[in-house]
Structure 1
Amino acid sequence: MWRSGEPSECCCHARGMDLNEFPETLGARAPNGNDPRIDGLVPSLVLEPEDGAATAEALTLCHQESMGVIPIGGGTRLELGNVPSRLDAYLMTSGLKGIEIDEHIPGDFTMAVRAGTTLGETQRYLKEFRQYVPLDVPHPDEATIGGIFALGEPGQRRRPGARPRDLLLGFEGVLADGTPFKAGGRVVKNVAGYELMKLFVGSAGTLAVMTRAFLRLRALPEEVTTVVIQARRPRAVAAAWRELRNLPLAPEMAVALSPTYAESHGLHEWNLLLRFEGLHEETRGALHDVRQRFDAEVLPDDRNLWDAIRDFPKSDAALVLRGQAAPARTIPLAESWQDGGALIAYPDTGIVYSQTTDPEALSDRRARAEENGAAVVIEKAPLEMKRELDVYGETPGGYEIMRRIKEKLDPKNILSPGRFVGKI
């Protein structure tokens, strides 16, 4: 039986390195009580390089000593991924902060930002220019630009054009052996024949460390409107989405809430939330189109609700799963998972998030996902469970290509070793 509890402490020691061997610019220190644990593992070395050059120097030294290194930005998603096969050092990007004001070109809707800068700080700066980065990821005041693109998760905005890979014009980074590189965007320079910009997004810190990013921006909408459609049965939610997804002004965000989750926010039954953004005439027109078809209610103060959905799941959940189905199977998958826990579903992409306090629910949820042709990623689970399985599920068809790319770009396997798909 799986039992949740405190992870056991385990310290992996840096291989023959002494703090005095590291230049001051690398910010080398011993870990302290404020540093995170990853699956019970604590390294014996923490590096906080002050810029891109220092990041390259830090990785060069770690590569020479074959040290297992995990890059850390805001630390908001450290529970995601397999148990590291080894951990000798953290590479913190907290020294890589700052918005490059001279590189922000409002008329072109582009900007440059250092990878350790949080999304929240970036949005606050851009608000003065009536612009923003169209990403809504959990805990934006802690999540860093580098971490967001390393994970490649779209957050709430799941329409084409609002995914991380759509918003990254280019970036600068450092490979595992300390080699600096530039990819995409303003400077096109690929390494070893690989398109590093496409490879990096979603690689979970296993291929490179981002130091600087060039981003595509949007204008802030003139008006934002959220409407909610309630239904007793999830199939009615699916039917409503099929009818509304192709409105002249498509919803910027669309999410279905299970009754268990909806009740925690003063709603009842199944709910389909649609968020429209645009000019006043556009959002009014979208609201009219929805109300012609369904009994829809406007939520006047919707930001708190969307923030809560964005930050789902809560930290007290023992088991958090992410299901990926074909869009047409989103609601059937959500319906099959609704017993025993709160969940939210994104009907336009087939993604369903489920949380429960019962880790024993895993086998049942996986079986029901298989019935709906869905894959399952374990985002959070008790440590003893994670040690015995691959949280990403069955090895995908492209695994061999992924393994060969990892071997080519990180032959010593020092970056986030064992954390990714297939325990790469």
Structure 2
Amino acid sequence: MLTDDLLARFAAIVGAPHALTDPADQQPYLVEWRDKYRGRTPLVLRPGAVEEVAAILKLAHETGTPVVPQGGNTGLVGGQIPHETGAEILVSLKRLDRVRAVDPENDTMDVEAGVTLQRAQEAAEAAGRLFPLSLASEGSCTIGGNISTNAGGTAVIAYGNTRDLVLGLEVVLADGRIWHGMRHLRKDNTGYDLKNLFIGAEGTLGVVTAAVVKLFARPRSVVTAFVGVPDPAAALALLHRARAAGGGTVTSFELLPRRAVEFVTRHDPASRDPLAEPHAWYVLVEISSTAAGGGTEALEAVLADALEQGIVEDAAIAASQAQAQSFWRLREMLSEVQRHEGGSIKHDISVPVRLVPLFLEKALPVIEGLVPGCRPLPFGHLGDGNLHLNVSQPVGMDKAAYMARGEEMNAAVHAIVTELGGSISAEHGIGRAKRALLPGVKDPVELSLMRAIKATLDPQGILNPGKVL
């Protein structure tokens, strides 16, 4: 029972100004940005130090109080939102927002969980280094949230997921103990790699309060192109050619259908079509090089050859940073502009990179057959096999009636994903949205091991209950 006395004990840990009980003050923490999940809580706690997080979890463990950790509240599967029962305390990590140290010689940076991704990028840049994780929500998402969901983004093709960018962690366990795992080592074979248990666990095994992340040399040349291609198979052929060309590293390779350009230019006055004629599909490609101007010649050569071979139909290479940003705006505005097109049934899937064209060949007719007139919008990270297959409602259809077909459409898409050896959640996580789907796609032994780990690290089940498992 969350009695007034118990709530007062929790509030005393962080102090009255950081213990929110007024519903108006709590609102930003309880509503997911797409308004799909709305939760309730008697108390939002905003600790300002790892010791306060430890004290909160120690008291929660002693009293059996469920706790929901939250970062920037940008998650897409409901993992950061408490349930509607109002029986959980929400712990926001936003005040843990220090960049503790930047070590350009070791190419590492120590950041607390509440540091936004954009601030982490800026801190690395100020030291002459690059922190390559890049997401559309980087101005508001936090490092702790990125770690807890193993965030992906547009640079995975070159640098990997968040998991690949973390060397060490500081984690508060369910019983309030602090694991001081802030190691700065590239090699450390002293037993189990515990940090990977907490990366991607969505706050169900412990609360990440700080991390040691990898930094990289800043590229001296970044060249961006917007390319029209006839189909996804041609886009995949272009990817292989760009990777084999030399002269730079392919750091982004995003696939977009024609409908994506139409949606963005229709609803975003700042955007325009970069190419003279419409094309069925597009690729947004970025090549980076540590040599000044190194990527430009390489990309020009790749595109010229691909044009001759019929792989590419037209292309525009950004002549300035502003033009490159305008290309990226077409990609980054997609999630926002879909709201204006009515209901959208969303999928975050991955398949082996070579099978992306086959997946689309199989999935699109099935989707269009289920709801005639629906408007599929498959876009995303072709370079790592991750597509966001969002499907907008037919024009004029009742939104509620359309969204009621969500589970049916999900089942059809996920069946094809499973057939091709893919994943029903590539980078957004499981949270509440996909929890019920796990038994259908996970090996029973794997699920059993996951439950055993959860029972060991959180025996009372107080950490983000009802999420993932």
* TM-score normalized with structure 2 length: 0.77
Counting only pairs closer than 5 Å after superposition, residues 15-414 of structure 1 correspond to structure 2 as 17-22=5-10, 23-25=12-14, 27-30=18-21, 32-33=23-24, 34=27, 35-37=29-31, 39-77=37-75, 79-81=77-79, 87-100=87-100, 103-159=101-157, 161-183=159-181, 185-186=183-184, 194-248=192-246, 249-263=248-262, 264-265=264-265, 266=273, 268-278=279-289, 279-295=291-307, 296-300=315-319, 301-307=323-329, 309-310=331-332, 312-314=334-336, 316=339, 317-338=343-364, 339=368, 340-357=375-392, 358-359=402-403, 360=405, 361-377=409-425, 390-392=436-438, 394-397=440-443, 398-414=446-462
Query: Residue 72 of structure 1 contacts residue 90 of structure 1 at CA under 8 Å; is this kept in 2?
Result: yes
**How far did residue 21 of structure 1 move?**
1.8
Aligned residues: 401
Query: Residue 119 of structure 1 contacts residue 142 of structure 1 at CA under 8 Å; is this kept in 2?
Result: yes
Query: Residue 150 of structure 2 contacts residue 427 of structure 2 at CA under 8 Å; is this kept in 1?
Result: no
**How far did residue 66 of structure 1 move?**
1.4
| More displaced 10-residue stretch of structure 1: 205-214 or 47-56 | 205-214
Query: Residue 167 of structure 2 contacts residue 182 of structure 2 at CA under 8 Å; is this kept in 1?
Result: yes
Change (3 A) 1:308 1:184: farther
**How far did residue 45 of structure 1 move?**
1.7
Change (3 A) 1:197 1:342: same
Name the residue aligned to 1:6: none
| More displaced 10-residue stretch of structure 1: 198-207 or 352-361 | 352-361
**How far did residue 105 of structure 1 move?**
1.8
**How far did residue 259 of structure 1 move?**
1.8
Summarize deviations over 1:301-342 as a string: whole Å, max 9, x none: 122443553565337353211111111111222344455221
Matches of 1:218 and 1:309 in 2, distance apart? 25
Summarize deviations over 1:140-182 as a string: whole Å, max 9, x none: 1111111111110221111353421222121211011111012
Change (3 A) 1:179 1:253: same
**How far did residue 122 of structure 1 move?**
2.1
**How far did residue 15 of structure 1 move?**
5.8
* 1:79 alignment partner, SS class: coil
Identity %: 24
| More displaced 10-residue stretch of structure 1: 259-268 or 170-179 | 259-268
Change (3 A) 1:157 1:258: same
* 1:95 alignment partner, SS class: coil
In the alignment, residue 322 of structure 1 is paired with which amino acid?
A: D
Query: Residue 333 of structure 1 contacts residue 352 of structure 1 at CA under 8 Å; is this kept in 2?
Result: no
Matches of 1:58 and 1:294 in 2, distance apart? 59
Matches of 2:351 and 2:46 in 1, distance apart? 39
* 1:414 alignment partner, SS class: coil
* 2:156 alignment partner, SS class: coil
Matches of 1:176 and 1:15 in 2, distance apart? 21
Q: Structure 1: any 5+ residue segments left out of the alignment?
A: 1-12
Summarize deviations over 1:330-372 as a string: whole Å, max 9, x none: 1222344455221213222221102224432323323443454
| More displaced 10-residue stretch of structure 1: 129-138 or 53-62 | 129-138
Matches of 1:234 and 1:76 in 2, distance apart? 30
In the alignment, residue 306 of structure 1 is paired with which amino acid?
A: W
Q: Which has the higher helix share?
A: 2
| More displaced 10-residue stretch of structure 1: 334-343 or 215-224 | 334-343
Query: Residue 206 of structure 1 contacts residue 406 of structure 1 at CA under 8 Å; is this kept in 2?
Result: yes
Change (3 A) 1:274 1:409: same
Q: Which has the higher strand share?
A: 1
* 1:43 alignment partner, SS class: coil
Matches of 1:219 and 1:121 in 2, distance apart? 18
Matches of 1:375 and 1:52 in 2, distance apart? 34
**How far did residue 139 of structure 1 move?**
1.1
In the alignment, residue 91 of structure 2 is paired with which amino acid?
A: L
In the alignment, residue 353 of structure 2 is paired with which amino acid?
A: P
Matches of 1:117 and 1:80 in 2, distance apart? 21
* TM-score normalized with structure 1 length: 0.84
Name the residue aligned to 2:396: none
Cα RMSD (Å) of the superposition?
3.1
* 1:245 alignment partner, SS class: helix
Q: Structure 2: any 5+ residue segments left out of the alignment?
A: 266-272, 308-314, 369-374, 393-401
**How far did residue 217 of structure 1 move?**
1.1
| More displaced 10-residue stretch of structure 1: 118-127 or 195-204 | 118-127
Name the residue aligned to 1:5: none
Query: Residue 158 of structure 2 contacts residue 252 of structure 2 at CA under 8 Å; is this kept in 1?
Result: no
